[in-house]
């Protein structure tokens, strides 16, 4: 195995993040304070939304958003089978049923042309996922949503800074949800946020995230304790200033990969005219028979390649009760056997990028 290791992801933190953490610690105000309120305001503005509600994770953001939108038992919510499991889990956690629609073979996002086929009288809304940082074709989504009176929730956990027709994702639908896990395009060390321009949804989300408290020790609904700590919000404010720069660096690396890999036996990421891809993950496809050997070979060479996601959500053991059969989502099932991802984060040096290119070419000739 090579002595050099190029990690699949790594947060970019410097003196500014360390300084703001120190400031919060010295203030003694660690929860429910001014940094969270400022971060909520700044991040919502960045997305083009009126309100932000910070929480302790991206999963909590999705969960609270669905509750704030009034989703519950007996409802159906349309979503993608090819994503991190939280996007569908949260539908189940509020008592509703996830209804999966197969994906597009080029974007890996939910196939917008198949959504209307599964709308029923129980359908409440659509949870779309901007997978790997590529925005979904939102105009078609909105046409269906308006026709049937559905909400549109953007799971933008992988798409900070991505754009659809010149507008930042997250602020496009009725509600947008983000994660700030350490591997994301920006991080707070964890945490998540809900953004919306619907004041009623924002207010209900605030109540739900903190025990239904309307003011000190006055609780008007049943809620949770899912607050974002002040330290995380302070880190988020520092990271938000750098987000566009981070995204541009990811795009620069993706451009190099695209030029270097163009002649290889790889299906490269697709960027439609309507989208600005933020490249949270740089994902390619190969022959399914070779995929695992290529991933193993790259890791042996010190290039951390990963598979996101090897098992579509409907076929996870936790979804066994739904009795989905092979062939239910043919595109997602095929793609899951062929995709793998390469390092594309802004901490990569020119030497790192060149190393990845060299090893990808080497391994593909050997497998």
Residue 1 has pLDDT above 60, yes or no: no
**Percentage of the chain surpassing pLDDT 70?**
99
Mean pLDDT score, 77-90: 98
10 Å CB burial of residue 275 (0-12, 13-18, 19+) is buried
d(CA 65, CA 42): 19
Q: Over the chain, what is the mean pLDDT?
A: 97
* Digit-coded pLDDT (tens) for 229-277: 999 999 999 999 999 999 999 999 999 999 999 999 999 999 999 999 9
Total residue length of the chain: 367
* Digit-coded pLDDT (tens) for 209-219: 999 998 889 99
Query: pLDDT confidence of 351, banded at 50, 70, 90?
Result: very high
CA 320, 324, 326, 329 dihedral sign is negative
265 three-state secondary structure: coil
The pTM for the full model equals 0.96
Backbone angles phi, psi at 268, to 5 degrees: -85, 160
- Rounded to the nearest 10 degrees, how much is the dihedral formed by the CA atoms of 82, 83, 85, 87? -110
Mean pLDDT score, 93-114: 98
Mean pLDDT score, 326-343: 98
Domains of the chain, start order: 15-237 (3.40.640.10), 243-366 (3.90.1150.10)
In this predicted structure, what is the pLDDT of residue 335?
Answer: 98
67-91 per-residue burial string, b: 16 or more CB within 10 A, e: under 16: bbbebeeebbbbbbbbbbebbbbbb
Q: Do 194 and 175 contact (CB within 8 A), yes or no?
A: yes
d(CA 88, CA 189): 24
In this predicted structure, what is the pLDDT of residue 10?
Answer: 95
In this predicted structure, what is the pLDDT of residue 215?
Answer: 85
Beta bridge partner(s), residue 151: 125
Q: Among 185, 198, 85, 84, which Cα is nearest to 152's?
A: 198
**How many other C-beta atoms can be found within 10 angstroms of the C-beta atom of residue 32?**
14
CA 101, 160, 68, 198 dihedral sign is negative
Query: pLDDT confidence of 2, banded at 50, 70, 90?
Result: low
In this predicted structure, what is the pLDDT of residue 3?
Answer: 84
Beta bridge partner(s), residue 195: 52, 176
In this predicted structure, what is the pLDDT of residue 265?
Answer: 95
Pick left, alpha or beta for residue 126 (phi over 0 → left; psi -120 to 50 → alpha; otherwise beta): beta
Whether residue 39 is preceded by a cis peptide bond, meaning omega within 30 degrees of 0, is no
Give the least confident one: 1-5, 114-118, 159-163.
1-5
Mean pLDDT score, 320-342: 97
Token code pair at residue 269: 């990421």
Q: Do 299 and 293 contact (CB within 8 A), yes or no?
A: no
In this predicted structure, what is the pLDDT of residue 236?
Answer: 98
Question: What angle is formed at CA 204 by the lines to CA 201 and CA 209, rounded to 5 degrees?
Answer: 120
- Helices and strands (H, E) in the chain, number of each type: 10, 14
């Amino acid at each position: 195995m090579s002595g050099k290791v190029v990690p699949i992801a790594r947060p970019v933190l410097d003196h500014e993040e360390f300084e703001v953490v120190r400031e919060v610690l010295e203030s003694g105000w660690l929860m429910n304070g001014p940094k969270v309120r400022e971060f909520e305001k700044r991040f919502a503005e960045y997305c083009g939304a009126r309100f932000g509600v910070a929480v302790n994770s991206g999963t909590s953001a999705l969960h609270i958003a669905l509750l704030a939108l009034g989703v519950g038992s007996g409802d159906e919510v349309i979503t993608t089978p090819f994503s991190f499991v939280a996007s569908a889990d949260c539908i189940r956690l509020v008592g509703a049923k996830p209804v999966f629609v197969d994906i597009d073979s080029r974007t890996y996002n939910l196939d917008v042309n198949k959504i209307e086929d599964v709308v029923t009288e129980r359908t409440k809304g659509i949870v779309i996922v901007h997978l790997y940082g590529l925005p979904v074709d939102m105009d078609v989504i909105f046409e269906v949503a308006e026709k049937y009176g559905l909400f549109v929730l953007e799971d933008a956990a992988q798409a900070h800074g991505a754009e659809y027709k010149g507008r930042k994702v997250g602020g496009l639908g009725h509600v947008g949800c983000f994660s700030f896990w350490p591997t994301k395009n920006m991080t707070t060390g964890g945490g998540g946020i809900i953004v919306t321009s619907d004041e009623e949804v924002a207010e209900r989300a605030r109540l739900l995230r903190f025990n239904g408290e309307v003011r000190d020790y006055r609780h008007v609904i049943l809620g949770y304790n899912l607050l974002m700590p002040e330290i995380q919000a302070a880190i988020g404010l520092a990271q938000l200033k750098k987000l566009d720069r981070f995204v541009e660096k990811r795009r620069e690396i993706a451009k190099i990969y695209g030029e270097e890999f163009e002649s290889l036996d790889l299906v490269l990421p697709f960027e439609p005219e309507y989208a600005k891809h933020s490249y949270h993950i740089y994902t390619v496809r190969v022959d399914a028979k070779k995929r695992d050997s290529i991933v193993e070979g790259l890791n042996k060479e010190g290039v951390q390649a990963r598979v996101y996601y090897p098992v579509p959500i409907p076929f996870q053991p936790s979804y066994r009760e739904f009795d989905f059969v092979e062939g239910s989502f043919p595109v997602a099932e095929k793609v899951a056997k062929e995709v793998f991802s390469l390092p594309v984060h802004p901490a990569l040096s020119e030497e790192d990028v060149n190393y990845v290119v060299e090893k990808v070419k080497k391994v593909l000739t050997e497998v």
